[in-house]
A and B are shown apart, each in its own frame.
Chain A
Amino acid sequence: MDLTRTLTATPALALHGVAKAFGGTPVLRGIDLDIREGEFLSLVGSSGCGKSTLLRIIAGLETQDRGTLEIAGRDVTDVDPSDRNLAMVFQSYALYPHMTVRENIATPLRMRRLPGAARLPLIGRLVPNQSDTRAGIDAAVREAAEVLQITPLLDRRPAQLSGGQRQRVALARALVRDPAAFLMDEPLSNLDAKLRAHMREELADLHARLGTTFVYVTHDQVEAMTMSNRIALMDAGEIAQLGTPSELYERPANLTVARFIGTPQMNVLPVEIAPGGTVMLFGRPTALAVRSAPGPATLGLRPEDLRLARTGWPAKVLRIEPHGADRYLTLELPGTGAGRLVLRQYAGAEVIPGDGQVHVDFAPERAHLFGADERRREVAQRAEQVA
């Protein structure tokens, strides 16, 4: 990818205050988002968060109630979907069942390059002076099929293809005409787990090769984390956080983001901020301090940031779940009333005593603290650590 291009001022797609309601229920509450030229941006969130509606507004299939949308600096609010030069891959792939793979891929070019009369069935062939155009379309179709390795399938119909093959045809139909951006609406959700992992890799390769802007909607945070340059995590019609995958993982802006990103989920524990700022976990001071009014707060700890220690909080191991190189320990903290914790460690770590009684501690520099409003609070490590 050409890095200088990503730094240019005009974004590929720019949304300002886009809002949409269906029958009085707000679905999008004023989205501001700049999508950079050539980046792979994922819109991720649980179902009903508005991500698909946002994508459909970008495509022009829905009209926003308020706000504007620009493509390459041009306001396209009143531009028909067919004139936005965007390609979309649908969750259902939306292949035309009556056309062969070749005709499916050719459709966007036929619509754009051939005059109306030449597109008519049967008599369209009689329109003169189109042979060059038709040859050009044929060549483009062959090239797109080559890229997605579906050349042997060109004369089949969608009904004769497997799920993965249909997926490739849908991609070929999208990339055949060199669009301003690719829009993808959960394109991998109809594939089985193995094929999905494989297509993830292929999509990332395709993006690297084409260097075109990708806007990718998914509810699967793994897809978003593995393929994206940036992620916009949506919640209840708003963007909860926009950033690179590692920013979302390392510095989640609020509890929703913290819980959504990462498997197994981040452990959350209720804590108390004592006067003076020390963070108290179940009545014991931690190594963390915060500049904030006293009161309740939430401590977030990723499974890999928990560790077994000689000192710390007494815990009981309920279950050991081997995952090859790693293992997950399910713990409870007796007498605290807190939910279960998951701890992730190397499979070859120390032996757990037979009665499961251990002590658990955490890496203070990797802890996340969220205030009563569920927003991230910056923490400092206290100088004198309590043993």
Chain B
Amino acid sequence: MTSLDLSPLATIPARQGSRRERRMMWRALAFVAPAALLMLAIYILPVLVLTGFSVTDYQLGALDWSVIGLGNFERAVSDPVFLRALVNTLIYAALVIPLGVGLALGIALLVHGTKRTRGLWEVAYFLPVTATLVAMATVWQFLLHPSLGPVNAAIRWLGFEPVAFLADPALLIPTMALMGIWQVLGFNMVLFLAGLTAIPKDLTEAARLDGAKSPVDRFLTVTWPMLGPTTMFVMVTTSISAFKVFEQVAVLTKGRQGSETLLYAIYLEGFEYAETGYAAALTLIFLALVLILSVGQTFKLDRKVHY
């Protein structure tokens, strides 16, 4: 009896509510639509197309093509140029990651200890981050010039043989890494400074009273463990940017003397030689490497919540 009476009363406001809710829903969809369409055009379709290309022998401009399955990937693992590019990129990363992170941490610790001069150091170390790397690579090319450059002049003045930074094939990747470290230091320093500022002062003071007399003890007891999440993050961003090294190669060598990096090899195959199918396969390998690093970063962001 009562339920019969109540049911129409109960449904009327619900229906009004759902109509209003539906109107809001359409508005929300209209808000999201441009971004969603762009997402489709810029991310989703290209990833699908890329995956499709990677199993074909398609060449841009060619009239016919065929599906060759994993042929492009088999070609990659036996392609000396690609393998050399992969090794070069790994060497580059192996230099840039430890030095770019370690030096940045050292600088951040020193800058964190200063008071009045802090702004000055921030400017000096961060300036390379804002500079256009292409232009600065040209400048480095001049600085490291065997006869004209100040760096070799200094080396000669110290009584050593000049170093052919940009001619000796063995030194090309380390020279590019030097520029990479130079540019990434300030970025990482600022991230570390933010991490250091977030450490409660109480903890450092408690450590002093607990007997951590030397700065090294305090660093190991408080600073280093508390910086853990920041360090992890800096490592990941530095390694992702190291895997994307491109400008130095484009300016300094154009891949000559076996100095290709991953991205430069992809650029050559895809855009210079129009080997679209093969370049797509190489791109997927590159993407897989970057995604492994990024997933590590997401995993780490979750852990940060614990602290």
Contacts and interface: CB of A to CB of B under 8 A. Distances in A.
A and B touch in the complex (CB under 8 A): yes
Contacts of A90: 202, 205-206
A184 to B, nearest CB: 12
Contact of A82 (B211, B228, B307): B211
Contacts of A92: 200, 202
B226 A88 contact: no
B205 A94 contact: yes
Contact of B209 (A88, A91, A116): A88
A111 B306 contact: no
B210 interface: yes
Given A88-B209, A111-B210, A120 B200 contact: no
Given A88-B206, A94-B200, A96-B222, A119 B213 contact: no
B178 interface: no
Interface of B: 200, 202-203, 205-214, 216-217, 220-222, 225-226, 228, 306-307
Contacts of B210: 82, 107-108, 111, 173
Which of A94, A98, A112, A159 counts the most B-chain CB atoms under 10 A from its CB? A94
21 contacts: A60-B208, A61-B205, A80-B208, A81-B205, A81-B208, A81-B209, A82-B209, A82-B210, A87-B209, A90-B206, A92-B202, A94-B200, A96-B203, A96-B222, A98-B225, A98-B228, A107-B207, A111-B210, A119-B220, A159-B306, A173-B210
A355 interface: no
Contacts of B207: 96, 107
B226 A119 contact: no
A86 interface: yes
Give the 5 A-B residue pairs with the shortest CB-CB distance, closest first: A111-B211, A94-B202, A94-B206, A82-B213, A98-B225
A121 interface: yes
Contact of B217 (A59, A84, A87, A116): A116
Contacts of A96: 203, 206-207, 221-222, 225
Contacts of B213: 80, 82-83, 111
B217 A94 contact: no
B226 A97 contact: yes
Contacts of A97: 226, 307
Contacts of A83: 213
Contacts of B225: 96, 98-99
Given A61-B208, A111-B212, 10 more contacts: A82-B210, A84-B209, A88-B206, A90-B202, A90-B205, A94-B205, A96-B207, A98-B307, A119-B217, A119-B220
A92 B212 CA distance: 19
Which of A61, A83, A116, A121 counts the most B-chain CB atoms under 10 A from its CB? A61
Given A116-B217, A119-B217, A120-B220, A108 B211 contact: yes
B9 to A, nearest CB: 45
A82 B212 contact: yes
B217 to A, nearest CB: 7
Contacts of B209: 59-61, 81-82, 84, 86-88, 108
A119 B205 CA distance: 19
Interface string A279-304: 00000000000000000000000000
Given A80-B208, A82-B212, A173-B210, A159 B307 contact: yes
Contacts of A111: 210-213, 217, 221
A121 B205 contact: no
A107 B208 contact: no
B226 A82 contact: no
Which of B202, B206, B207, B225 counts the most A-chain CB atoms under 10 A from its CB? B206
Contacts of A87: 209
A98 B307 CA distance: 7
A94 to B, nearest CB: 4
Contacts of A159: 306-307
Contacts of B216: 116
A82 B209 CA distance: 5
Which of A83, A88, A121 counts the most B-chain CB atoms under 10 A from its CB? A88
A98 B216 CA distance: 18
A86 B210 CA distance: 8
Interface string A193-209: 00000000000000000
Nearest to B203: A94
B212 A98 contact: no
Interface string A102-121: 00000110011000100111
Nearest to B224: A121
A5 B269 CA distance: 88
A114 B200 CA distance: 26
Interface string A38-62: 0000000000000000000001110
A108 B202 CA distance: 15
B179 to A, nearest CB: 33
Contacts of B202: 90-92, 94
Contacts of A60: 208-209
A59 B202 CA distance: 13
A124 B202 CA distance: 26
Nearest to A185: B202
Contacts of A88: 205-206, 209
A83 B222 CA distance: 19
A128 to B, nearest CB: 20
Nearest to B218: A82
Contacts of B307: 97-98, 159
B226 to A, nearest CB: 7
B206 to A, nearest CB: 4
Interface string A153-167: 000000100000000
Contacts of A84: 209
Interface in A104-155: 107-108, 111-112, 116, 119-121
A107 B211 CA distance: 8
A143 B221 CA distance: 23
Contact of B220 (A82, A86, A121): A121
